[in-house]
Each structure stands twice: as structure tokens, then as C-alpha cells.
Structure 1
């Protein structure tokens, strides 16, 4: 293999390890900060908006790359049965020699996030340091530490994409915090935590063998699925409650166009057959896919609803 071919192979492995199919989530979450500002009549610089979106993308990629590297070195990849939604990308088991490159890519993404954070620290003031340090802690601690603490493991992904990314981006762009952006942030907070929890169900046995301890392990597949259903229902309940309180505009109800998908998913999660608890994943996999569709569609619709209010 020539040097150019080997380098191209390393780059492809790093790209696969970043799980590019799922990276659209970060811009959708950061977008809520912009559409909330738009709904409130607040202006922000286009360059700052691009930096916020790029920073969110880099942060998500960094989490995925660190996770892939950790799971490969811990031996978890060798134990996991991969699905389209869980178990990692499989890139490093296919190309073990790329492990160092993936780790370097993770740190490079994190360095990019820190540089963008430094720009906004200068522009928006010391409050950005709080968001930055909390986000950095989540990125570095999630795979190796938080996955051994059940409730923190449940809350951390949603907090990262919701309560940190959305208000933090809004503060960076406008210098302010509002009830609108906090209400909007609650939706990804609940839905992203639900996504990670249901995606942990296929990995229960493998995760237990490498010392992880999350709620899917503690509750078992059936009760974990019902907790996912409750989190998703709570996310949709945010819109009417926040609208009633005056925190979200009427157009935010656009998110409820996804209600039929939610109803179908809740029915499936609540009525999973007992065989899922014995490792029969076939009934669960379509629901995992539908959950991804629901998450992305709901965030997109909420973004449009906030934008229409501007």
C-alpha cells in the first residue's frame, strides 16, 4: 500500500468513526439558538452563526471519535453486535492501525471547539467560560466515567445537546438568555437522552462485561423502553406548557405535526414483546430507526416554527 493510499485509508476511517450520518443533530440543536433569537427579534452576525454551527458539529464529532477510540481499546467493539443505530461504526475493528489517527482527530476537533469558544469568550464575556468548561467536561468524561453512573449517563447527552448547546449558542450570538431559548432547549434535552437510552439496549450485555453501568442495564430492555416513551412524551409536552406560559410562540406548535409518529413509537415501545429482554432485537430495531426520524423531524419542525415567529 502506497503512502497516499494509506493516508487516504486513515482519513476514511476517521470520517467513519465520527459517525457522519448522525452529525446533523448538532446543527439542528445549535439552530434552535438562532431561530429562538430570530423569534425574539434579536440580531446576530452571520459569521458568528457559522462559527456556532461549526463548533457544534466539531463538538459532536469529538464525542463520537473519543467514544469510538475508547470502545476499541476497551475491547467493547469485539463484544458488541452492531446495529444501524448502536454498537459504533465498526471502522476501527476493520482498521486497527488507524486508532492513533482517530484519537488525534478527536483532539483536533476538540481543539477547534476550544478556539471557537475562545472567540466567543472574547466577544460575549466570561459567562461563556461556564458553558465551555461544562461542555468540555462532558466530552471528556462521557465514555470513560459517566457511562458508569446510571442517572448521569442518562442526563449527560441531553444536557450537552440541549441545556448547554442551545442556551450557550444563544448567549454567544446575542449576549442574552431568555425563556424562549430555555424552553426550546428542553426539547432536545429530553429527546437526545431518550435516543441514547434506547440505543444502549442492544449493548446491555457487552456494556456490562466491560464495566459500564447505565439505566438500560439497571432497568432491563422493557422498562428502559418505557422510560424512553415517557421522555419523548415529556418533550412534546414542553410545547403546550411553554406556549401557555408565554415562553414559546404559537408557531412552535408546528412540532406537533410529528405527533402521529410519536404516537406510533410510544405504542411500539410500550408493547415490546418479552423476547426483547432475552436478546431478540428484531422488534426493537424499527423503533430505534423511527426514534431517530422523530428526533430529527421534531427539531427541524421546531426550528421552522420559531423562525416563522420572527
Structure 2
């Protein structure tokens, strides 16, 4: 069966092609009875509007792309869901791409999405290859950075340095003096790098230290958290009484491994994560963590993009709040 055309819809509805086009793009300008006939014709023919033609005519595709490090992490899916809810209500579609923390793959994904003439692009973090930024500049794609604060692009994110510093001050105030840290892989990941820098810098200001042997980088997974604790216990010159993990997934893996090794949490080891995933409040003991409002970040990002696209108001720099959520995995050292 041949594909239905705009002309076919117009003929069946008994109107001009211009009226059909207006019914698709500006239905409020079409009389209700005419609009009903056009919609009935579209349903009867199974007509699908040509998105590329509409984009060419209007200069807008009504699509926004979001490129995230991974879809295998609830913290990003919560932000995407928040973004999707706001954009869908405004008639925009959200396209997704992921790159598994690989900058070359991110460049390829951004190039592919830019070729689809998306109206705007959402990136995670401030670290991006020069080729990626060049593609966005050449395509004149409106771009906003999320999860981090950027001096080069509009951004809605968290102060990742302060996340690490907040965890350090909290553990120090509890009385801990021997620390460990399990970070995500810092290469191509400014969030992981800054959280480590914040933790180390804050401890140094308090005249405490994080020995290099007591810190390690691991993939963001439960297995990474388990391996991280093993690494710290094996290499640290002094057994830590407190460990800060770069996100909740690492922290939960650390907790699982501590339990398997017979290390009592929190009486022998305190653990702090970052994110506040839903599971963090449900396990026993509950995970102490630095809370990040990921769903709100997604909604704020979508609102900022819509204002940019519809009203020409370019987003500035928005810093999202963070908070220390104290639960059962932390206590003063024994």
C-alpha cells in the first residue's frame, strides 16, 4: 500500500493542502469542524506527517537530545524522566544517546543527533572533547550542561567539589581520622574528579589526610564498590574507619563487601555515598549519602530549554542544592 500524502488527506477531508498543513502545525487557527474532518482523514489514511518537511518549513524539529554517560544508572534515568515529563507536555520529543564514559563515542553520538536537526542538546558534565564542542558550535545547536557547573556553556548542575568536601567535614566531625575513598573513573569524568578533590582538600584543611594508597578508582557498579573496599583494606597504611564513595552504587557495593568480610557497619566502618537512590533508604542499615535532586534537575533543565527555545531567554548558571542525609551506615569511630 503506497504511503499517504498530504494531498490525499486534503482530498478526503475536502479542504486545501494549506488547511491540512495549518491543522497540523497551528490547530488553534482552524475551525473545529474543519479540524475534525482533517483528523478523521488522517486516521482513515494512516497519514504520518513528514518531520523533515515540517522542520524545513518551521525551522524547528520540536525534538531535544540528551546525551548521558550511561542508561544503566537510576540517577540518570530519574533526571531523564523529569525532563521527559516537562518536554512532552510542551509538545517536544526527547531523543537519547549514551557513550559509556568514552569521549570518542560521545563525539559520534553528538554528531549523529546534530544531523537530525534537534532544537537543543543536553550534555552531562563539563568535560567534553574539542571535536564534540566544535560539532555543536558549527551546527549552532543550543546546548546546556547538566550535573556540573561550567564556565563555557549554560549549565544546571551540582558543585561536585563541595559534595566531596561536605562528606569529609561530616566524617571528620563524627571523630574519624583514618579515611578511604572509592571514586568513579576520573578520566573524562569531571564529577568524579571534583568529588575526590573536594574530599582531599577539605581533609587537608582539617589537618587530616587521605593517603594515596587509601583511594582508588572503580567502575560505577556494585562490583566496583566491592573491589574498591578490598583494594583499600589491602593497600592502606592504616585501616580506615570511614570511606566516602563517589556514588551510591559504589557505596552499596562497599557495604555488601564489608558485610561479606564480617566488618560491622557502622561500628567498625562508616560509609557515605552520593546520589540518594531510592534503594539507599530501604536497605539495612540505610545508607548515609549526599542527596542530589536528580528528578528536579531534569525538570529544571527542560523548563530552561523551553524558555530558551520559545522566548529566547538563554539559561545562565544554576547551582542545584545538595544535602547530607544521615542514615545507619555512619557513626563515631569505635
Please, what TM-score do these two structures have when normalized by structure 2? Answer: 0.24
Please, what TM-score do these two structures have when normalized by structure 1? Answer: 0.26
Greater length-normalized contact order (CA 8 Å, ≥ 6 residues apart): 1
Give the structure with the higher percent helix. 1
Q: Which has the larger radius of gyration?
A: 2
Give the structure with the higher percent strand. 2
